[in-house]
Amino acid sequence: MGPAWTLRNPGVTAPLIGARPSAQLEDNLGALEVDFTASQPARLDRVGAVDLGYPHAALAGEHMRNTTAGGLTIETRR
């Protein structure tokens, strides 16, 4: 399911395939045909989550955003 999850992940712009034998290539290309149930992507995200810890937690906090951006917000496109 790894390659299939990668294909549906909006944070991945270009999944790379590093297959050596043809069986690996066929297995990776099979990800194009995987259909997830409604709950599977959320479950995969949950079990694969990594606690980034320090310094990420400190830098991603509200205080740091206010300090660096001064309350500036950017509107999303409509």
57-67 pLDDT per residue, tens: 888 888 888 88
- Residue whose token pair is 């999850």: 5
pLDDT at 1: 59
Does an H or E element contain 46, and which?
Answer: helix 40-47
Would you place residue 6 in the very low, low, confident or very high pLDDT band (cuts 50, 70, 90)?
Answer: confident
Residue 66 tokens read as 């206010």
pTM over 0.85: no
pLDDT at 78: 66
